[in-house]
Amino acid sequence: MHVLQSLILGIPAVIAGSPILVERAPTSPFALFAYGDGIGGAPVFTDGDGAYIGQVTSLNDSEAAQVEFNAGTDNTLLANPNTTTTGNTPTWSNLTFIVPDTTSSSHKVEFTNSTTTGDRSGTGFVFYGEFLLHKSTDGDLKAMWYAVPSGQDNVWTLNWNSTDDDTEGKVIVTLKATPPSRGADKNP
């Protein structure tokens, strides 16, 4: 089983090194789901600030909602709450999905009202099929997503660039615009 998971999780890295890469975003609006060891398609959600994966109701926050993404200009991802999944009506909308760059001391993925905030970037998101990758300013495509237990049952913080993060319990994940198959474990 671990061999199969390693092969599946390694797909984005292999794709990124491929000389033929077709960039295309899924049809908007779309959701993102995390897949990794013990995480079988957990949805991406936010409380209007941090990026999380897992069961949105476990966060116990009226601002928390699963994210409905739209592709924006300059390869940005704009986020709005999907109120049909939780019944919450958050006050946030039109947030930009951002990842920290290599100079950031934090690895947390976030949502903000800006495409750049100091050491973070909200541009350069591309898809290979249903896999979400990030294109850095030097043109490299990367899929450096990982999840860290948040302290709440069935909720992980979504992070980027695990090369120097040795947090216990971290799980390397891929982000896809494909929901888990029917009957699969959607919420770890």
DSSP string, 114-179: SSB-SSEE---EEEETTEEEEE-TTS-EE--EEEEE-SSTTEEEEEE-GGG---TT-EEEEEES-P
Domain range spanning residue 102?
2-176
In a domain, 185, yes or no: no
- Total domains in the fold of the chain: 1
Whole-prediction pTM: 0.82
**pLDDT tens for each residue of 12-66:** 444 445 445 555 668 779 999 999 999 999 999 999 999 999 999 898 899 999 9
Q: Is the pLDDT of residue 4 over 50?
A: no
Tell me whether residue 23 is in a domain: yes
Looking up residue 143, the CATH number of its domain turns out to be 2.80.10
Tell whether 184 is covered by a domain.
no
Report the pLDDT value the prediction gives residue 116, as an integer from 0 to 100.
64
Rounded percentage of the chain residues whose pLDDT exceeds 70: 79
Query: What would the pLDDT profile of 140-163 be if each residue is shown by its tens digit?
Result: 899 999 999 998 999 999 999 866
